[in-house]
Amino acid sequence: MTKEELRSEIRDGVEFWGYEAEGELIGVMGIQQVQDVTLIRHAYVRTANRNRGIGGTLLSFLRRQSTRPILVGTWKAADWAIKFYEKHGFRLVSAAEKDRLLRRYWSIPPRQIETSVVLAERK
Ligand SMILES: CC(C)(COP(=O)(O)OP(=O)(O)OC[C@H]1O[C@@H](n2cnc3c(N)ncnc32)[C@H](O)[C@@H]1OP(=O)(O)O)[C@@H](O)C(=O)NCCC(=O)NCCS
């Protein structure tokens, strides 16, 4: 993401949180309140620091900030990310529900709707 894209996301209400170790930023995750739901946006942990629980720690922290239903959108092809969210209590919603949710809560072009999935908290 470019600096300008980052600024634009922040202007649109995405609140970014970071995970630091020894003064270095090694993970980020955003949270965005949209209408009656909370979206988890832009999860990213530095390659060398993955699979050590940092993404899970950030996700648990962000989930505690919200009392609304939480949704996550990611790419259909991102098996690793889907597994990550499933491990943390999310489930993939049906194709029809996904299309409805992406149109309602995200501002993305039709082409990206086709290549995306949505996960919702199991509860
Ligand atoms: C998704 C991401 C944020 C997870 O962060 P993390 O710190 O590695 O996650 P945790 O260590 O808390 O959890 C690891 C779990 O995630 C899943 N996972 C993470 N990387 C994976 C990979 N390369 N392949 C398969 N599963 C993976 C597994 O379920 C793993 O559980 P396990 O340890 O029982 O196998 C991180 O992999 C990442 O930054 N990926 C690139 C960016 C991305 O895809 N972001 C999500 C799009 S919204």
Looking at residue 122, what is its pLDDT? 82
**CB-based pocket (< 6 A), ligand 1:** 43-45, 50-56, 74, 78, 80-81, 83-84, 87
List the one residue out of 83, 89, 108, 99 whose CA is nearest residue 117. Answer: 99
pTM for this predicted structure? 0.91
Per-residue pLDDT tens digits for 16-68 = 999 999 999 999 999 999 999 999 999 999 999 999 999 999 999 999 999 99
Looking at residue 57, what is its pLDDT? 97
Residues facing residue 45 across a β-bridge: 27
pLDDT at residue 123 is higher than 80: no
Cα separation of the two ends of the chain: 32
Per-residue pLDDT tens digits for 57-114 = 999 999 999 999 999 999 999 999 999 999 999 999 999 999 999 999 998 898 999 9
Indicate the residue type of 97: E
Question: What is the residue whose two structure tokens read 């202007």?
Answer: 11
Q: Whose CA is nearest to atom 14 of ligand 1?
A: 51
